[in-house]
Amino acid sequence: MSWLADAISPASAASFLYITFTVDLQTRPYSDFVIPSLQLRQSTKALHMPSERTNLGPLTTRWKYPDRCTVPVTACSNCDNGWIAQTCGDNDSNSQGVLDDPECWPPRSKSMSHSNALNGWGFYSPAFDCPQGYTAACHATGTDASFNFQFSINDRETVKGCCPTGYACAGGGTNAQTCTSTAFRGSLQVASCSDRKTVLNSLSLPFVVSVTTSGETTVQTIDALTFYAPMFQLNHHEKDITLSTTGSQQTQTTASSTSTAESSTDGSSSGGLSTGAQAGIGAGVGVAGLMILGAAFYLWRRRKRATPASELAAPEEQKKSPTTPAGYSPAPQYAPVELDAASTRHEMS
């Protein structure tokens, strides 16, 4: 569990858990990328023969794997393949001693020992949702399957193969099931095992490696890396969905009935007035309000009639005032005056 923590700090771990490289899914013959740890199975298992059914238990919650499970472990210094969800151990089936990390698998109802890398442990049932960071990459319903799953499928049983996002379901002559993805360019952090210890390396695709064979050293270019990840096989029957749905509906119905009963009990046990009494009080208050409004209107009418006529009538002069522009007062009105015919005429000096 602590193999990655011993090699790097938490801060540095976060820097490469989300690798910025372009991943292009490519379907290739499985024999092109035979995982060394799976070679032992080729002599003991027939081609496409399902493995014995091993139920690891139910998976009813969205499980989240530890961050270290995303770090790929390369098969060798000059190999073009590697695995994720692994730890370093004493596995003799590959040169690195890579083993499955149990912490990178969802919880199980039975204990499982360390296995050869991606050798297949079993299936989860009943199980419905892929773990966080995983998506359903292949499916099967009874005999109708888009993928040849490692563990046999019963009639009316629905199966999904969960792979990390960006990976595709893979399988082949080794009879194991896994997920695969190929990186063609970009930079990434990888791990390798040396004497059961973890060594971290930085790679940029493509990269050049030196290979020594029979005393002769040659240089070769690695232009792609193929990674394999554990596939989580989730199985369930129709009855699992029915029972789950029925149980949920019963719970909702019971809760609704209980809520209604509590509401009725609260209303009947309270010491307040009955509904009829409350309605009568409301009607009485409304009538009283109308009476008050009527009295106020009567007093207002009576006062209006008692007002003197002089206060209500406008002066005759005001009624005949000519209209003037706003802001100006009307000119004063004078009675016409006749001029005296004998008036003396004066000249202005």
The single-letter DSSP state of residue 5 is T
Mean pLDDT of 307-316: 48
Structure-token match 């930085």, residue found:
202
- pTM here is 0.55
The alpha carbon of residue 156 and the mean position of all alpha carbons in its chain are separated, in whole angstroms, by 30
- What's the pLDDT at 13? 36
> Cβ of 139: how many Cβ atoms within 10 Å?
15
Specify if 269 maps to a domain.
Answer: no
> What would the mean pLDDT of 5-34 be, rounded to a whole number?
35
Q: What is the pLDDT of residue 158?
A: 93
Reported as half-sphere exposure (CB side, CA atoms, 13 A), residue 157 has a value of: 18
Among 134-138, 172-176, 262-266, 343-347, which stretch is predicted with the lowest mean pLDDT?
A: 262-266
pLDDT at position 273 is 54
**Per-residue confidence band for 115, with pLDDT thresholds at 50, 70 and 90:** low
Beta-sheet strands, E only, within 25-164: 73-74, 81-83, 86-88, 98-100, 123-124, 134-141, 144-145, 157-164
Query: Tens digit of pLDDT for each residue in 262-294?
Result: 444 444 444 455 555 565 666 666 667 778 877
Is residue 310 over pLDDT 80? no
Question: Which residues neighbour 151 within 8 Å (Cβ) at sequence distance 6 or greater?
Answer: 50, 51, 52, 53, 54, 120, 122, 123, 233
Q: Could you report the per-residue pLDDT of 22-63, keeping only the tens digit for each? A: 333 333 333 333 333 333 222 223 334 667 788 999 998 889
C-alpha to C-alpha distance for 70 and 85, rounded to whole angstroms: 6
Is residue 43 domain-resident? yes
d(CA 230, CA 123): 12
Which has the closest alpha carbon to 38: 172, 182, 194, 190? 172
Domain that holds residue 104: 10-244
The per-residue pLDDT for 116 is 60
The pLDDT of residue 229: 93
Q: Does some domain include residue 340?
A: no
Q: What is the pLDDT of residue 180?
A: 94
Rank 127-136, 188-197, 206-215, 330-339 by mean pLDDT and report only the highest: 127-136
**Which ranges of 18-90 would DSSP assign to H, the alpha helix?**
none
pLDDT at 278: 63
In a domain, 185, yes or no: yes
Q: How many CB atoms lie within 10 A of CB 132?
A: 10
Place of tokens 């991606």: 118
The pLDDT tens digits for 191-241 are 988 887 888 888 889 989 888 888 888 899 999 999 999 999 999 988 887
- pLDDT (average), residues 178-192: 90
Check whether 81 has a pLDDT greater than 80. yes
Tell me the pLDDT band of 246, cut-offs 50, 70 and 90: very low
Determine contact, residues 69/134, Cβ cutoff 8 Å: no
Share of the chain above pLDDT 90, in %: 20
Please, are residues 89 and 114 in contact by the beta-carbon 8 Å criterion? yes
Least confident among 71-75, 100-104, 327-331:
327-331
Res 231: pLDDT: 93
- Mean pLDDT taken over the chain: 68
Q: Which residues contact 192 (CB under 8 A, 6 or more apart)?
A: 73, 74, 76, 77, 96, 198, 199, 201
**How would residue 1 be classed by pLDDT, with cut points 50, 70 and 90?**
very low
What is the share, in percent, of the chain residues with pLDDT greater than 70?
Answer: 55
For position 210, what pLDDT does the model report? 86
Asked whether residue 261 is assigned to any structural domain, the reply reads no
129 belongs to a structural domain? yes
Task: Let me know if residue 157 belongs to a domain.
Answer: yes
Pairing of strands 81-83, 86-88: unpaired
Predicted confidence (pLDDT) at residue 318 exceeds the cutoff of 70: no
User: How far apart are the C-alpha atoms of 135 and 6, rounded to whole Å?
Assistant: 30
The whole-number pLDDT of residue 287 equals 65
Exposed e or buried b for every residue in 182-215, given b needs 16+ CB within 10 A?
Answer: bbeeeebbbbbbeeeebeeeebebeeeeeeeeee
Transcribe 30-45 into DSSP letters.
GGGG--GGGGGGGGTS
**Whole-number pLDDT of residue 226:** 94
Position 130 in a domain: yes
For residue 242, the model assigns a pLDDT of 62
Give the count of domains, the chain. Answer: 1
